[in-house]
Amino acid sequence: MDEPTFRTIIEPFRIHSVEPIRMTTAAERADRIAGASYNLFQLHADDVLIDLLTDSGTGAMSRDQWAAIQRGDESYAGSPSYFVFRDAVRDLFDFDHVIPVHQGRAAERILFSVLGGPGRVVPNNTHFDTTRANVEATGAEAVDLVIAEGRDPASHHPFKGNMDLDALDALLTARGADVPCVFVTITNNSGGGQPVSLENLRGVRELCDKLGKPLFLDACRFAENAWFIREREAGQGERDVVDIVRDIAALADGMTMSAKKDPMGNIGGWLALDDPDLAQECRNALILTEGFPTYGGLAGRDLEALAQGLKETVQHDYLRYRITSTAYLGEALQKAGIPVLSPIGGHAVYIDARALLPHLDPLQYPGQAVAVALYEIGGVRSCEIGTVMFGRRPDGTEAPAPMDLVRLAIPRRTYTQSHMDYVIEVCQRLAERAHRLPGYRIVEEPNALRHFTARFEPVH
């Protein structure tokens, strides 16, 4: 019999334990968001109905991950759980040194505390905000070199996360001595969850080899990236995702990882690399703030959960569901006339707020306006990724970010299709009232990572 095909995207799991979510009224939401100074990070999560703020640490763990937690060994040094974790990491990313940390930014801080410093410059396709902040905190410069298509929300390029190889070549030629390493973020989160091709990674590798520079991956969403390679890159369509991941890893000298994304953890991360001297320096830095190198700020049970999560995240049924269900949301928004970044990314749908609210200047934060409206309309929490997040320069001046996006990030294995249908309806209401949404101004902000704590006011 031919394999029957179905339109419905089936969640490849049954629900095993449930978490209640609380309905609120429009009046309550207006009150809560004003009380949070229009900053969605300041809301109490109980006041949120569908939480698409982030896909980080918010996914549902599997039965087998909870079982693995029971096996956690909490020895301070040399815990068997460390070795289970290390071997699971190495099965995909075969680096000599695997150093657990409590989350991705700890790996960044440790690595850049060794490799950064004034006068240094770190290229990346697009630095995530914590990555940029950790580079800049050492006095080094963070440079984004994504291809031009990656900055154009309407471009349909299949690998919009790719590095601009000419720009990287030019930077390495002009300032090679100042570059301690080259980074590639897979998928490119700040650029819209867009993948990087194997071919592009090979090109980056060649340039790194030419100048003897190590290549590091910021690999939080590596499985989604590998799935896109399988779907979109010539000659990859019949391959197992695991083999694609191993190919990606083989091109790099090391990686930072937030295990709160594709590794299906609620917490965790790692730094992995081949260079023994650099690894030793990083371990020394780790001990100062994170803990002993076989637990790195995590409990043994966390390490076990991550080892199991790594096995689940590369399963084809899971990845097919993950990518098609994200596209389901994105395509429905397009049908509703909402400009979204295309192609639809892996972990999130990004609304192009600058295009949706042409009456607002980027410095009136159109992304913030959309994010606040989605909450006010239907209790949906999203995240501005635009001028609020990236507009403030280290010297305190302000300029529009390349794009003003609002990210609807989808926690892994957490919401069902009817939850997404509700989000689609909320977005339809947003489209109806978009032309009259107010802009915002910042009334108080910190020096770095201002989006977490800034206080806003609507500008009527």
Chain residues that interact with ligand F0G, rule: CB under 6 A: 54, 56, 103-105, 128, 130-131, 185, 189, 218, 220, 258, 260, 269
Q: How far is the CB of 232 from ligand F0G (least distance, A)?
A: 20
* Unique residue bearing structure tokens 């806003």: 456
Helix axes 104-115, 276-289, angle to 10 degrees: 120
Task: Closer to ligand F0G by CB, 79 or 185: give it.
Answer: 185
Q: How far is the CB of 428 from ligand F0G (least distance, A)?
A: 25
Q: How far is the CB of 345 from ligand F0G (least distance, A)?
A: 11
Task: Closer to ligand F0G by CB, 131 or 368: give it.
Answer: 131
**Nearest residue (beta carbon) to ligand F0G:** 104
Q: In degrees to the nearest 10, what's the CA dihedral of 193, 149, 40, 321?
A: -30
Task: Closer to ligand F0G by CB, 104 or 367: give it.
Answer: 104
Could you give the angle at the alpha carbon of 313 between the alpha carbons of 12 and 189, nearest 5°? 110
Backbone angles phi, psi at 58, to 5 degrees: -105, 5
Task: Closer to ligand F0G by CB, 76 or 452: give it.
Answer: 452
Task: Closer to ligand F0G by CB, 230 or 451: give it.
Answer: 451
Contacts of 258 (CB under 8 A, 6+ apart): 56, 103, 104, 105, 107, 220, 268, 269
Residue 39 to residue 48: CA distance in whole angstroms: 13
- 326: alpha, beta or left, given left = phi > 0 and alpha = psi -120 to 50? alpha
Q: How far is the CB of 290 from ligand F0G (least distance, A)?
A: 12
Q: How far is the CB of 92 from ligand F0G (least distance, A)?
A: 17
Residue 386 token pair: 């635009």
Q: How far is the CB of 40 from ligand F0G (least distance, A)?
A: 12
Task: Closer to ligand F0G by CB, 293 or 345: give it.
Answer: 345
Q: How far is the CB of 267 from ligand F0G (least distance, A)?
A: 8
Task: Closer to ligand F0G by CB, 408 or 437: give it.
Answer: 408
Residue 381 token pair: 């929490």
Task: Closer to ligand F0G by CB, 217 or 423: give it.
Answer: 217
* Unique residue bearing structure tokens 């897979």: 186
Three-state SS letters, 348-405: EEEEEHHHHCCCCCHHHCHHHHHHHHHHHHHCEECEEECHHHHCECCCCCECCCCCCE
Cβ pair 409, 384 in contact under 8 A? no
Query: Which H or E run contains 244?
Result: helix 241-250
Residue 198 to residue 336: CA distance in whole angstroms: 34
Task: Closer to ligand F0G by CB, 214 or 269: give it.
Answer: 269
Q: How far is the CB of 282 from ligand F0G (least distance, A)?
A: 16
* Unique residue bearing structure tokens 């609304």: 351
Sign of CA dihedral 205, 207, 212, 216: negative
Task: Closer to ligand F0G by CB, 105 or 160: give it.
Answer: 105
Q: How far is the CB of 438 from ligand F0G (least distance, A)?
A: 26
Q: How far is the CB of 337 from ligand F0G (least distance, A)?
A: 27
* Unique residue bearing structure tokens 């031919």: 2
